């Protein structure tokens, strides 16, 4: 059973290794409904890995992942632990839409086709219904006139907004962003920042990995600072950015100001 109090995602004691390299060393994290949780930290600290473990794009070796209170079912142990139920994986993944740094649009499909693809093939929804929604979403992100263009004909900022429309078209319970603005020039970055802020104001549940501390400070309800696979410090943005408690976070924030 779920209600508004049940977090969309909750993770406890998550451990993840690539071979001998332990990348997540016991991470606890919760994404309550309607909240924006940002993940910050140095390159290699495990931010992308944590995001990819959440929607089961990566296996993890220990710990629990819950989607709307429902625990992921596993078979096997340690490096042999995998999700046990393919149907559950598809359901969870299609409810946690991901937006990547490099947009990852299909080059051979128009923008409209890109946005419609997953609802048609994964959710088996009717073409008419999906097309109506897709066009509304392209309008919402400000690129309605690009529906019939191909990705290569769009600027980076437009491509990323198309990728956000594509993620939204799945009507997911949460959006997972992995550095959505870091491949963009500063002025294009702002187009995408505006869309992310509007989504936060709508009360979308979001997990946001970002190097943009101003964005994290502006949109987050909660900020998590990862360091070498562990949560070093976390809290509301005012506290985390205004009054960092650990030497490591202070050092990290100084370095990102430069
Ligand atoms: N597929 C993989 N195989 C082996 N090691 C990996 C793989 N993906 C990531 N790693 C390692 O896991 C660690 C964490 O990587 P991750 O991509 O999660 O970091 P990140 O915090 O997202 O960094 P960045 O800010 O550079 O994106 C790094 O040491 C990285 O080299
Ligand atoms: Mg990363």
Which residue from 243, 246, 228, 258 is spatially nearest to 21, judged by alpha carbons? 228
The per-residue pLDDT for 226 is 98
CA of 141 to the centre of ligand 1 (A): 30
Q: Domains of the chain: which residue ranges? A: 9-102+174-257
Per-residue confidence band for 2, with pLDDT thresholds at 50, 70 and 90: low
Whether residue 258 is predicted with pLDDT greater than 70 in this model: the reply is no
The per-residue pLDDT for 257 is 81
The per-residue pLDDT for 3 is 66
Pocket of ligand 1 (CB under 6 A): 18, 21, 23, 41, 43-49
Q: Which of 5-9, 38-42, 227-231, 254-258 has the lowest mean pLDDT?
A: 254-258
CA of 165 to the centre of ligand 1 (A): 27
Question: Could you count the other beta carbons within 10 Å of the beta carbon of residue 85?
Answer: 13
Per-residue confidence band for 178, with pLDDT thresholds at 50, 70 and 90: very high
**β-pair partners for 204:** none
Nearest CA to ligand 1 atom 2: 18
C-alpha radius of gyration, the chain, whole number: 18
In this predicted model, what pLDDT tens digit does every residue of 96-116 receive, in sequence order?
A: 999 999 989 999 999 999 999
Q: What percent of the chain has pLDDT over 70?
A: 98
Nearest CA to ligand 1 atom 16: 46
3-state secondary structure the chain: CCCCCCCCEEEEEEEEEECCEEEEEEEEEEECCCCEEEEECCCCCCHHHHHHHHCCCCCCCEEEEEECCEECCEECCHHHCEECCHHHHHHHHHHEEEECCCCCCCCCCCHHHHHHHHHHHCCCCCHHHHHHHHHHHHHHCCCHHHCCCCHHHCCHHHHHHHHHHHHHHCCCCEEEEECCCCCCCHHHHHHHHHHHHHHHHCCCCEEEECCCHHHHHHHCCEEEEEECCEEEEEECHHHHHHCCCCHHHHHHHHHHHC
What is the average pLDDT across 181-207? 93
Per-residue confidence band for 250, with pLDDT thresholds at 50, 70 and 90: very high
Q: What is the CATH number of domain 9-102+174-257?
A: 3.40.50.300
Question: Could you count the other beta carbons within 10 Å of the beta carbon of residue 23?
Answer: 20
Tokens found for residue 93: 């993944």
Q: Which of 1-5, 18-22, 68-72 has the lowest mean pLDDT?
A: 1-5
Q: Which residue among 47, 208, 252 is best mutated to probe the pocket of ligand 1, counting the most ligand atoms within 8 A of its Cβ?
A: 47
Whether residue 1 is predicted with pLDDT greater than 90 in this model: the reply is no
**Cα–Cα distance, 6 to 231 (Å, whole number):** 22
Nearest CA to ligand 1 atom 24: 43
Burial class (CB within 10 angstroms; exposed 0-12, middle 13-18, buried 19+) of 148:
exposed
Per-residue confidence band for 207, with pLDDT thresholds at 50, 70 and 90: very high
CA of 83 to the centre of ligand 1 (A): 21
In sequence order, what are the residues at sequence separation of 6 or more whose Cβ sits closer than 8 angstroms to the Cβ of residue 238? none
In this predicted model, what pLDDT tens digit does every residue of 223-240 receive, in sequence order?
A: 999 999 999 999 999 999
- Torsion angles phi and psi, residue 253, rounded to 5: -65, -40
**Cα–Cα distance, 65 to 11 (Å, whole number):** 5
CA of 44 to the centre of ligand 2 (A): 7
């Amino acid at each position: 059973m779920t209600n508004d109090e049940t977090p969309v995602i909750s993770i406890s004691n998550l451990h993840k290794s690539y071979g001998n390299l332990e990348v997540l060393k016991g991470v606890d994290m919760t994404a309550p409904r309607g909240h924006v949780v940002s993940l910050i930290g140095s390159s290699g600290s495990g931010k992308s890995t944590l995001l990819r473990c959440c929607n089961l794009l990566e296996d993890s070796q220990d710990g629990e992942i819950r989607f709307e209170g429902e625990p992921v079912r596993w078979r096997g142990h340690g490096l042999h632990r995998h999700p046990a139920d393919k149907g559950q994986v598809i359901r969870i993944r299609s409810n946690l839409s991901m937006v990547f740094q490099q947009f990852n649009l299909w080059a051979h499909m128009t923008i409209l086709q890109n946005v419609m693809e997953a609802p048609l093939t994964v959710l088996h929804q009717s073409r008419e219904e999906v097309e109506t929604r897709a066009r509304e979403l392209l309008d919402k992100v400000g690129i309605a006139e690009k529906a019939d263009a191909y990705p290569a004909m769009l600027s980076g900022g437009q491509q990323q907004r198309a990728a956000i429309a594509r993620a939204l078209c799945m009507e997911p319970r949460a959006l997972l962003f992995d550095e959505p603005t870091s491949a963009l020039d500063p002025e294009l970055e702002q187009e995408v920042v505006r869309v992310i802020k509007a989504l936060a104001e709508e009360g979308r549940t979001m997990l946001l990995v970002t190097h943009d501390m101003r964005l994290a400070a502006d949109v987050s309800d909660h900020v998590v600072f990862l360091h070498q696979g562990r949560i070093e410090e976390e809290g509301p943005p005012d506290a985390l950015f205004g009054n960092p408690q650990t030497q490591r976070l202070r050092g990290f924030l100084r370095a990102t100001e430069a």
